């Protein structure tokens, strides 16, 4: 996929970025003494999705997990029990300081707000990176990671493992072959409700559990007092300072297939319908509209609409008539084309309306791919990754423009991708980036 337009050069952009004020890339590549030629990996973040990522790494013969890091000692101890030979750390910075010469690559599975700082630090030391989705917490971080990965030549992979699945890859082939003709509309959704709608945030303050380093958990985010069952381990996704809501998180999975298949780039504008902003959390449900430039696989105009929470799935979609008794899945997407429609449930294969359309062509021949192993093998010089940061950065930029639009319900935000600014509403530009807290 081509990089976004860049009237602002890579060098100029990085010089202007506070995150890269003193950034330099060290030579990349495997260490000469990597034991048995296996990729030496440090995993940072081992709870939640991190637990699944660790399990996958341990199944790959050419990978060796040699270091584990987490701010929660209970989660770290559990992971260490699984990988007893790995060295353990609470602070990723100490891991990088102490094991710089012993690791080749880093897998990042922390909450969203720490993805970019850790991935940036890893690449600064010449390490290849696999980062859980979303790639970063805000628009500018996504652009920075994309450009650094591209300039450095490091091997990267965004953790959208469903992109390697047969169903999604079949959808890509069917769309590219013109099975349903050029696409005029895309509807994407998730029923998850990763937001909070109360007017003000609770002032509750609780004692920090002994097993949690709260300062390290906050990392670069603004200071917050600890509240039980409010941040850690999972509710941070609902909060603006830490997560990206349902759109920014599940959207990565569900946007990916149609965005990739249609060859989309940066949107021209975005507009959202949701509750008024409360200043601390994402809305629990919203509808977001995008306008993307036309491609070879779309009609001259393309309607793109996202729904989440109580607004998902949509009750009806223009141009799509479901068979009697059938409903749209809780998570998925619909592509409306000139010859018919295609429905893709999350993690499922494509179906067409009319049903006989998909039966009229041979099934694409697709080989099995493991998303994690693909990254490991690519680092070792055997193949390429399917979702490098050069792809994941623009995808997550587009998604997180919708997250910004949630702060201005009903207003169309015009996006100038080359200049990295919202051209018609300067007040929105402050939400494209963040100031990092020292910790």
pLDDT for 11: 47
**Residue 112 counted as domain residue:** yes
**Residue 326 counted as domain residue:** no
What DSSP element (H or E) covers 267? Answer: none
Provide the 3-class DSSP secondary structure of residue 128: strand
Full residue range of the structural domain in which residue 128 is found: 10-163+372-386
**Residue 119 counted as domain residue:** yes
Indicate the number of domains in the chain: 1
pLDDT for 234: 83
In total, the chain counts a number of residues equal to: 439
CATH code, domain with 158: 3.40.50.720
Q: Which residues are registered as beta bridge partners of 131?
A: 108, 158
pLDDT for 8: 42
The span from the CA of 355 to the CA of 293, in Å, is 30
Q: Low-confidence residues of the chain, pLDDT below 50?
A: 1-16, 18, 21-22, 32
**Residue 381 counted as domain residue:** yes
Q: What is the DSSP string of 198-209?
A: -SS------PPP
The span from the CA of 205 to the CA of 344, in Å, is 44
pLDDT digits (tens, 9 = 90+) for 7-43: 344 444 444 454 554 455 555 556 545 667 899 999 9
**Residue 259 counted as domain residue:** no
pLDDT for 159: 98
**Residue 170 counted as domain residue:** no
Structure token digits, residue 438 = 């020292």
CA 40 to chain centre: 24
**Residue 343 counted as domain residue:** no
pLDDT for 31: 55
Sign of dihedral through CA atoms 277, 279, 282, 288? positive
**Residue 76 counted as domain residue:** yes
pLDDT digits (tens, 9 = 90+) for 67-88: 999 999 999 999 999 999 999 9
pLDDT for 4: 37
């Amino acid at each position: 996929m081509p990089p976004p337009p860049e009237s602002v050069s890579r060098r100029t952009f990085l010089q202007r970025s506070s995150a890269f004020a003193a950034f330099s890339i060290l030579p990349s590549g495997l260490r000469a003494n990597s034991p048995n030629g296996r990729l030496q990996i440090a995993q940072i973040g081992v709870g939640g999705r991190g637990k699944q990522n660790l399990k996958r790494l341990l199944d790959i013969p050419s990978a060796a997990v040699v270091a584990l890091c987490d701010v929660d000692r209970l989660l770290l101890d559990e992971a260490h029990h699984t990988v007893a030979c790995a060295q353990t750390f609470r602070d990723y910075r100490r891991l990088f300081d102490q094991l710089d010469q012993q690791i080749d690559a880093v897998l990042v599975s922390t909450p969203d707000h720490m993805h970019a700082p850790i991935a940036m630090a890893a690449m600064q030391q010449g390490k290849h990176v696999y980062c859980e989705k979303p790639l970063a917490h805000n628009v500018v971080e996504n652009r920075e990671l994309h450009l650094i990965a591209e300039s450095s030549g490091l091997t990267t992979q965004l953790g959208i493992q469903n992109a390697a699945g047969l169903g999604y890859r079949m959808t890509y082939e069917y769309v590219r072959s013109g099975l349903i003709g050029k696409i005029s509309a895309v509807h994407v959704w998730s029923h998850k409700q990763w937001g909070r709608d109360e007017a003000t945030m609770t002032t509750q303050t609780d004692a920090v559990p002994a097993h949690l380093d709260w300062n390290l958990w906050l990392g670069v985010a603004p200071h917050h007092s600890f509240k039980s069952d409010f941040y850690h381990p999972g509710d941070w996704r609902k909060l603006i300072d830490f997560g990206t809501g349902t759109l920014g998180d599940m959207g990565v999975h569900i946007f990916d297939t149609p965005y990739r298949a249609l060859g989309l780039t940066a949107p021209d504008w975005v507009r959202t319908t949701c509750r008024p902003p409360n200043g601390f959390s994402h809305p629990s449900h919203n509808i977001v509209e995008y306008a993307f430039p036309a491609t070879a696989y779309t009609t001259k105009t393309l309607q793109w609409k996202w729904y989440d929470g109580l607004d998902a799935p949509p009750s009806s979609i223009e141009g799509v008539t479901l068979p009697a008794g059938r409903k749209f899945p809780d998570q998925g997407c619909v592509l409306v084309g000139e010859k018919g429609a295609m429905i893709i449930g999350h993690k499922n294969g494509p179906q067409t309306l009319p049903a006989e359309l998909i039966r009229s062509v041979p099934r694409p021949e697709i080989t099995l791919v493991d998303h994690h192993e693909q990254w490991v093998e690519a680092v070792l010089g055997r193949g390429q990754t399917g979702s490098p940061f050069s792809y994941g950065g623009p995808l997550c930029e587009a998604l997180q423009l919708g997250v910004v639009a949630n702060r201005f319900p009903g207003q169309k935000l015009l996006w100038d991708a080359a200049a990295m600014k919202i051209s018609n509403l300067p007040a929105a530009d402050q939400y494209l980036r963040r100031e990092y807290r020292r910790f």
